[in-house]
Amino acid sequence: NAGVTQTPKFQVLKTGQSMTLQCAQDMNHNSMYWYRQDPGMGLRLIYYSASEGTTDKGEVPNGYNVSRLNKREFSLRLESAAPSQTSVYFCASSEVLAGDTRADTQYFGPGTRLTVL
């Protein structure tokens, strides 16, 4: 049981290049999330998917697109990378504990460290 996996672990892009960050979970969770973490800003939600087939914008969606490929996989795409997108990107998935949505618990992947030059 690997939990939440992300690829790649590190990536360096030039301004204007595109790339897709991959995320997969093997916990049979319905909900998946993409965050970015920047110094002094904390974790900020980019996009989320409440269930297979649905995606919604979070707090900072500009410059990103997502695809919920199936229940396991949720990818994040940067179409034209900018230096402002230099960050650490975390994928997470969540389950509901004991049938109570207040106790919905998110599990995070190891992160992708992205640098845009």
Partner 1 sequence: QKEVEQNSGPLSVPEGAIASLNCTYSDRGSQSFFWYRQYSGKSPELIMFIYSNGDKEDGRFTAQLNKASQYVSLLIRDSQPSDSATYLCAVNKDTGFQKLVFGTGTRLLVSP
Q: Does 108 bind partner 1 (CB under 8 A)?
A: yes
Asked whether position 26 contacts partner 1 by CB under 8 A, the answer is: no
Range in contact with partner 1 (rule: CB under 8 A) among 17-25, 40-48, 62-70, 73-81? 40-48
What whole-number distance in Å separates Cα of residue 53 and Cα of residue 93?
Answer: 15
- CB count within 10 Å of CB 105 equals 11
Contact flag: residue 106 with partner 1 (CB under 8 A): yes
Residue 71 binds partner 1 (CB under 8 A): no
| 25 interacts with partner 1 by CB under 8 A | no
Q: For partner 1, which residue of 16, 82, 104, 115 counts as binding (CB under 8 A)?
A: 104
Which residues form the interface with partner 1 (CB under 8 A)?
31, 40-45, 48, 50, 58, 90, 94, 101-111
